[in-house]
Structure formats: C-alpha cells, structure tokens
Structure 1
C-alpha cells in the first residue's frame, strides 16, 4: 500500500483547473450531449500530459487493460466486422476502428485518471465540491424537465434549429439518468462531507424522479443494487468487499452458461411472459448470444462481431459480459473480469481504513456494471468515458478526505 503525497507533485494547480473544467462540463453534457463525454475525457488527458512527468511502471489494472486491447486487436484478424483491406486510407478511417480507439482511450482516459491521483488535498476538495454540486444541478434540471415531458429540451432543440419529437426528446434526456446513476455515489459523498444533507436528499429525489418519468428502468435497478452494496460494505467492511468481488466475478465467468441453463430449465420462457416488450427483446438477444458463444468459446467471433448478426443483435448485446464472451471469447471475458475484480478488491482494502469511501466506490462500481449488463455496448466511447469520470470523481473525494490510497483506482500506465 502506498500513499501519494499529492501536494508535493508539480503542476497540481493546472491539474486542479483541468479537473474543475471536466466537472463544470459534466451537467451540461449530461443533459444536452452525453456522447460528448468521450471527447471531454480525451481532452482532459491531453491537457494534463505536459505536467505528468516521466511515465511510471504500469500498474496491474493498466496491464490488464493493455492486454485486453491487444487481444481485441488480434481478434480483428478473424472478425467478420474487420474493415476490408485497403479501406483505411487516412487517419480518419483508422481512428474509427474500435481496436485503435481502445488504445487511444487507455492512454488518454488513463492520463486523466492518473492526473486525478496527483491532486493536492486543497485541489481535490475544490474538484469534489464542483463535482458534487454539478451532479446535483444535473439531477434537479433533468428531473424538472422530465416532469414537463422534456419540454425544455425540445425548446432548446428548436432554438438550435434542430427540432425533435416529444417522444425522442424524452429518450434523449433519459440518457442523462445513466450518468447520474453512476455519479450519484461520489456526488452524495462529496456533499455529505460538506454537511449538505438536504442537498443529498434533493439529489436522490432528482435522480429517482428523472429515472421514473423517463422510463430509465436500468438506472433504477443500478441505484438499488448500488444501495445494497453501499449498505453491505458499510455494515460488513472487508467481508462486504470480498462479497462484492465474488459478485463481480460470477457474471464474467458464468453469463453464457447461466443463460443456456435458464433456457433449458424453462425459466427463460417463464420470464418472457412477465416482462414488458423492451425487456422481452433483451431476453431474445441474450438467448441468441449465448447460443452463438458456443461456436467459438475460447477466441470469440472477433471484435465488433455483434454488429454482423442483423436483427438478432441490434448493434450490441445489451449485456457487457455476453458481448465480451461473444466477441473475445473466454480470454476477453477473463481479462475484463480480472480488471473489475481488481477494482472490487481495492474496495476491500479501502474498507480496512475508510468504510465510507469503500462503500462509495463499491456502489459506483456496482451501478456502472449493472447498467453495462442491461443497456449499453462494451465499446461505446462515451460510456467508457463515464466510467473514467466516475473513477476521477471517487479519487477526488478520497483525496479530499486526507486518507487516500492510489492502488484502488490507478488504471493508467501514464503518470
């Protein structure tokens, strides 16, 4: 275990300014342009590179992610989604390739995370404060707009010359709920440490109201699961952290097996009769995916292969673990599972000295994984960026407490 003396690092005023900028932009992007989180985190990584100093030895999580990116790139040699030979004529073509983007994201998002670990205590306090009130503002604004049927969002689109139908506007603002479901935990912790209990209540009401009114069911599930983990770690400490690590590992190991067993046992058919249409479609996608995992269980079908199955899998599987198994096989699922288990293990170690911080981080990790298991594709840049954003937020809260251990969240080889 190592403790960073953040105040002794060079360039911390600049790092603080960059991180404050990131969280000033968070409520704006969370409401208006969620895809903008990808360029925001990439920009943050570029801005901090000049003051980061010489590279340190890569940590275990960074090495795991690097191996995952390399395996994903290798899988393009057999992927049906691989770009045709000769089609990559300039940088723009190359940059669109998922395998290339994975390396860029690891470097740039990782640099932003490494920079957060170097914040001084005073800088971290400022960053955490801006983050907490920024997420609160996002929750209040999205919650109020959800009450009006996204009327404010529609007016904004009219002003920008790009009008949108009411039903699509409701879908657009619902995406912000996924950001809030993950960021709720560090934001609530930051507000609580500043004695703003009423603000935490308002934050919770805003997130719940926005999720309910915009039909963001996955967010409600993620918040409930995160809350359960928060209580578990607060109550059980290290034991709760170990249980979280086990819970994180199981889906990465058994996801396709569990689906196939449920189908054979008749449980899948029973679920089809209970769930609404959107969830019924997910059940069909998951069943198809699990069945096709059996064709290439070790190597997978190749990166982005999910996009090649037509209507059976619209763009992605809506489940991170199944998508990893389908595209990268047991190797990819094992590497991704090892990374998230490492983060969960860090929660266990943190619980030895600071249960509150461990509970916050464990809840944020749980919410992120639950949404990833229900809603988004593994390789969506903006969603990966939100994960990095949550790590930065948790790091800022920990640093501002004066009891920060950098082994929990350092995932970059840059720093």
Structure 2
C-alpha cells in the first residue's frame, strides 16, 4: 500500500508568510481606513507595515539581493537626479536662515527615502495574488468610511470637517491617499481581467470625494482619469506627453506668474486671492533675480512667512517653493528626475502604464495646487504609492491561470 506523501513543515517560511500577510493588511487595509479619521495614520502605520515586510524578507530570504538592486538603482537616471537634488538640498543648509529646522526636515526626507528603499528590497520578486487583492478591498472599505464621514459631517463641498481638534482637515489627507492608491488598485484589477470591479472601485472612490469637503481631490481624480484614458488609448504618447508637461512646469516656475496673472485677472478680477498670490510671486522673482540660481535655502518657503521673509499670501505650491528654496539647480534636478521616472514607470508591464500615468498626474496636480514640497505626510504618501505600484508590478509574473484537464494523462493511475 502506497504511503501518502506529506509535505514538510517549514516554521520559518510560515512565520515569514504570516508577517508579510500582516504587513500587507496594515499597508493596504488598515492604513487607508485609519487615514480617514486619524491625522497621523500614514506617518505612524507606514513604517510599522514596512518593518514587518522587511522582517519577513529576513526570515525567509525572499528579498531581492542588495548588490544587484543597488547597482540597478545607481544606473537609473531618475535615481541619480534624485541624489543630486538631495545633495543640493544638503548644501543649501549653508545659506538657509533656519538651519535647525531645515536639518531636521532634510533628515526626515532621507529617512523616508531609506524606508522606501527598504520596502522596495523587501518586496518579493513574485507577489501573491491573495496579498494584492487586499488593496482594492482596503480602498473600498476606506471609501465607504469616507462616504459615511462626508454624509454625517457636512454637505457637498462645504467647510472642512472639525474632528478631534484637527485644524488641517483630517479627511483631506485620507482622501488624497485614496486618490493616489486607487490607480494601482485599478491597474491590478484590470491586469487580472476584472474590469467591472475596477470600474466599481473607481466609482466608489469618486462618490467618497463628491460627498466630502473640498473639490481639489475630485479634480485630481478627474485629471488622473483623463491621463488614464489617454494613455490607454495612446500608450506611447501618454507617458511622453505627461513627462514633458510636468518637467516643463517645474523648469518654467519663475515664468508662470507672469503668464497666469493676466489670465487670472481677466477671469476672476484683479483683487481675487489667487491673483494677489501670483502678484506676490512676481514681486519675489523680480526683486531677487540672483536667488533664482541658488535659492534661499531649505525650509525657507514655509518658515519665511512667519518672519516676514515672504508675504503671507505667497503661493503654497511645488512650482513656487521648489524655486524659492533650491533655485535653478534644485528645480532642474527635480524636473529631470520626474521626467525620467514617468518615462520609466510601468515599462516592464504595459498593462500597468495607464494606472501609473494616472497616479503621476493626480499627484503632480495635488502638489501644484497646494500641498507644497516637503510636507512629511505627503512625502510618505508618495513613497507608499511607489511601493504599491512596485508590488503590483511584481504580481504580473503570471497572466493566465492554467486550465485543469478533464482527461487523465495516459499511463496515470
């Protein structure tokens, strides 16, 4: 009588699988839901989830080898341009008037980058579908929570929700996380042939944005949808056009107020807040032309408003703060890095390119409208979006499930 074969038990592999599962639950489910009502959910939960993924990769050894991955990064134009940006920001500490605060912010930025790299190396080369399906489930739950908060808290496009003493709008951060993470979730579902579920998730997130405060996130989602549709229709032209537009806007930052102010005055009147903000931007550009080369130093755009270095109505946008703090070198390095990253995104899996372009477009619009440059929760959110897309890309190793045959092969018992 043949003895039934038993599979050997590997405690280390089982423990690593459990740690990885818990890490992805925290990253894909707990964090999007908690971000809808907890102000620091992203900053607190993201390092914990990534630490669990790193620990799992150490236990079972399924992480990518450090040397080949590091060599690949060092050969990436986007990574090299990003390193130049960091080095210039560090050099600007010499002339920034806020040395202590700028040093702390720079260290936080470097820590966020190191966390992202650790998460990148910890992700297995072949992601399990069961873990990736947690992403749309978590986003759907977060959207339902956001809809409930929006309906019970206030009406359409009203004032910010007042919750737990938060004066910066707790729900806004959660909605921004939804806007960015919905696109990798949609890309994953489409790659599995679940177009109906992808459309349903996009509609659910749209409803969450409609019933919640502020039209900015809804506009960002609409811009992302346009980028998605155009790239799906023109997969070669989509990344090229988006990369060119984003890089051009960063490079032409000092010229933009001279173009936008007359248009804004004609549409909204010369005394509208936006037009006055553009006027302040013009005055800053013309009063210190030499500073367009060096910038005023790291952290000056935010802190300068409170010590009369900047007018209080100075723009809160990436396009202004980048030039004001880091000047020509920082702006060109950021533009080159962004251009290279957009052109490179999703190249190994063409089905993911529309989703990647949608996320890039939505994130760039949010940064330009008013998030600014170096807000830590925003940088952490961007890092998470990158890691999620990497995870979805590594889940594309199998595109078709093998079919079981009804007939036994010849000679089988």
What is the TM-score normalised by the length of structure 1? 0.77
* Change in 2 beyond 3 A, CA 1:126/1:256: farther
Q: Corresponding residue for 1:89?
A: none
| 1:375, distance to aligned residue in structure 2 (A) | 2.1
2:182 corresponds in structure 1 to 184
Q: 2:298 aligns with which of 289, 300, 303?
A: 303
User: Which of residues 97, 100, 106 in structure 2 aligns to 1:99?
Assistant: 106
> Structure 1 residue 370 and structure 2 residue 370: aligned?
no
Contact 1:192–1:200, Cα closer than 8 Å, also in 2: yes
Contact 1:142 1:210 (C-alpha < 8 Å) held by counterparts: yes
Rounded to whole Å, the distance in 1 between the matches of 2:201 and 2:96 is 44
The 1:251–1:389 alpha-carbon spacing in structure 2 relative to 1, beyond 3 Å, is same
Is residue 289–residue 322 contact of structure 1 (8 Å, CA) maintained in 2?
Answer: no
Aligned pairs (5 A) from 1:159-178? 163-164=164-165, 171-178=169-176
Residue from 20, 26, 29 that aligns with 1:24: 29
Q: CA deviation at 1:305?
A: 0.7
1:346-385 equivalent positions in 2, closer than 5 A:
346-347=344-345, 349-350=347-348, 354=350, 356-385=351-380
Q: Residue 283 of structure 1: CA displacement?
A: 4.2
Alignment counterpart, residue 208 of structure 1, candidates 177, 199, 206: 206
TM-superposed CA distance for 1:20, in Å, is 3.5
Deviations 1:269-296 (A, max 9, x none): 224429986x567546654555567340
Q: Give matches, 1:324-339, under 5 Å.
A: 324-339=322-337
Q: Which of these residues, 115, 118, 123, is aligned with residue 108 of structure 1?
A: 115
CA distance in 1, matches of 2:388, 2:110: 23
Q: Within 5 Å, give how 1:46-85 maps onto structure 2.
A: 46-49=51-54, 51=58, 52=63, 54-55=66-67, 56-57=70-71, 58-59=73-74, 60=76, 61-83=78-100
Per-residue deviation at 1:373?
0.7
**1:235-285 Cα deviation digits (max 9, x unpaired):** 11112221122112111111221212434xx224224429986x5675466
CA-atom RMSD in angstroms: 3.3
Q: More relative contact order in 1 or in 2 (CA 8 Å, sep 6+)?
A: 1
Unaligned runs of 5+ in 1: 1-9, 84-92, 152-156, 405-415
Aligned to 1:120: 126
State the distance in 1 between where 2:249 and 2:132 align. Answer: 32
CA contact (8 A) 1:48 1:112 kept: yes
Q: Structure 2: where are the runs of 5+ without partners?
A: 1-12, 156-160, 400-413
Task: Determine whether 1:231 maps to 2:229.
Answer: yes
Deviation at 1:360, TM superposition (A): 0.7
Larger radius of gyration: 2
Instruction: Give the one of 103, 107, 131 matched to 2:135.
Output: 131
